[in-house]
């Protein structure tokens, strides 16, 4: 019997869907799954997550109403050390290595003879790379026994950093597709009552929302009275700046900003949108694209998103675009909203394609990584 600990910074809806399905698979193998999170509170996403009645055990390192960043390293390490010792896993799946708690977990695993699996969605093009940082990163990466990554760009990056090709598996970046399935949400009330493009983001620079608004303004001018509306769900530091841009472009009547919404509150928007847009200038994956496709929506996705290569079949389930070419996005908005475009066909193709990227895919990929880690002897430098 193997015990697998899956370590995330914070367990939100995505993580619970993945690890619940992993637990289902592991029960048949006689394996035990334990979830570990650095803290119950977190600052990046304001998830309200129900952790009652989970099918697996979940342990929080920091249980107070603060994130792990707000406690000292000494407290974090002491609690993390105790939890890991109490759980005593055979294999530890670790979400990244950049944050200090994850790095500590990796070296705890090495010190205690546990197998470690990297959960990664980094690509070579995420950030500007320097040779010496890549050298340090390569050394850290090689301390892992195996890896589970989002897609092909993420796999190539780890191979470039020195992991053996047969130690890297796919399936990390998935959501609970059934939650968003059109059959499950189609009867929800329409929050807009007009045709609309939908975007869901934190209002931060890398999400490229000012670019999206500019492209939409040009689309609206070209399309005239037949133009669709635009819904921007989310919140963040750029909200006031975006509101000023919308006002300056005389778009206040056509652009809706309902704020940050929990998953259940987003479902009516997914149910009735005509097309989803994700315009990020830099995105390791972009799970909201999974959600949109699981809702059966055509998608327009920046070709700099980590999910682009694996999820978008250009012209079949959506279209890619250059996130610094506003004319290209405007043209695609014109194309997708024209009577000549079969939205039902494109949306059905999106729904079919995303079925592979399910919690089962995550579970199967991680089990493959666990088997590799347990049964392949590797010499680490």
Examine the pLDDT at 69 and tell me if it is beyond 70. no
300 & 239 share domain: yes
Count of structural domains, the chain: 2
141 & 233 share domain: no
Sequence-distant (6+) residues with CB within 8 A of 224 are none
What is residue 44's predicted lDDT score, i.e. its pLDDT?
59
pTM: 0.93
Residue 91, in any domain of the structure: yes
pLDDT class of 45 with cuts at 50, 70, 90 = low
Q: Which of 76, 126, 125 is nearest to 103 (CA)?
A: 76
Alpha-carbon separation of residue 152 from 176, 256, 355 (angstroms)? 21, 35, 17
The DSSP line for 125-191 is TSS---HHHHHHHHHHHTTSSEEEESSHHHHHHHHHHT--GGGEEE--S---HHHH-HHHHTTSPPS
In angstroms, how far is the first alpha carbon of the chain from the final one?
A: 29
152 & 282 share domain: no
Identify the domain containing residue 53 by its residue range.
3-174+358-375
Examine the pLDDT at 129 and tell me if it is beyond 80. no
136 & 214 share domain: no
166 & 203 share domain: no
Examine the pLDDT at 380 and tell me if it is beyond 50. no
Residue 308, in any domain of the structure: yes
- What CATH number did the domain enclosing 328 receive? 3.40.50.2000
pLDDT tens figures, 192-213: 999 999 999 999 999 999 999 9
The DSSP line for 252-271 is TTTEEEEE---HHHHHHHHH
158 & 60 share domain: yes
204 & 333 share domain: yes
Q: Is the distance from CB of 234 to CB of 259 less than 8 angstroms?
A: yes
Residue 199, in any domain of the structure: yes
How many CB atoms neighbour CB 342 within 10 A? 11
120 & 210 share domain: no
Token pair for 210: 């000012």
The DSSP line for 74-108 is HHHHHHHHHHHHHH--SEEEEE-SSSHHHHHHHHH
Report the chain's mean pLDDT, rounded to a whole number.
Answer: 93
230 & 349 share domain: yes
215 & 69 share domain: no
């Amino acid at each position: 019997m193997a015990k697998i600990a899956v370590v995330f910074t914070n367990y939100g809806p995505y993580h619970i869907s993945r690890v619940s399905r992993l637990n289902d698979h592991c029960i048949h193998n006689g394996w035990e799954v334990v979830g570990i999170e650095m803290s119950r509170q977190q600052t990046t996403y304001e998830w309200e997550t129900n952790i009652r009645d989970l099918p697996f055990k979940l342990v929080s390192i920091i249980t107070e109403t603060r994130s792990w960043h707000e406690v000292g390293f000494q407290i974090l390490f002491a609690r993390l050390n105790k939890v890991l010792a109490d759980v005593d896993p055979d294999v530890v799946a670790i979400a990244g290595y950049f944050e200090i708690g994850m790095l500590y977990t990796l070296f705890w695993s090495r010190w205690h003879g546990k197998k470690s699996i990297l959960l990664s969605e980094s690509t070579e093009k995420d950030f500007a790379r320097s040779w010496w940082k890549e050298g340090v990163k390569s050394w850290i990466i090689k301390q892992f026994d195996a890896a589970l990554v989002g897609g092909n760009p993420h796999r190539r990056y780890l191979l470039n950093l020195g992991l053996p090709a047969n130690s890297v598996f796919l399936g990390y970046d998935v959501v609970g597709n059934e939650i968003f399935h059109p059959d499950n949400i189609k009867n929800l009330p329409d929050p807009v009552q007009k045709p609309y493009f939908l975007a869901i983001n934190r209002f931060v620079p890398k999400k490229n929302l000012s670019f999206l608004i500019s492209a939409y303004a040009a689309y609206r001018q070209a399309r005239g009275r037949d133009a669709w509306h635009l819904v921007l769900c989310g919140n963040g530091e750029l909200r006031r700046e975006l509101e000023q841009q919308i006002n300056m472009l005389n778009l206040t009547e056509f652009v809706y900003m309902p704020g940050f919404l929990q998953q259940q509150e987003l479902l009516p928007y997914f149910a009735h949108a005509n097309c989803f847009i994700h315009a990020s200038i830099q995105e390791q994956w972009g799970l909201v694209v999974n959600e949109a496709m699981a809702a059966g929506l055509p998608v327009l996705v920046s070709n700099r998103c980590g999910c682009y290569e694996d999820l978008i079949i250009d012209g079949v389930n959506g279209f890619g675009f250059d996130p610094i070419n506003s004319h290209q996005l405007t043209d695609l908005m014109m194309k997708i909203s024209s009577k000549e475009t079969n939205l039902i066909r494109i949306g059905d193709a999106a729904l079919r394609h995303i079925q592979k990227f399910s919690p089962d895919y995550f579970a199967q990929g991680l089990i493959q990584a666990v088997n590799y880690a347990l049964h392949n002897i590797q010499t680490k430098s």
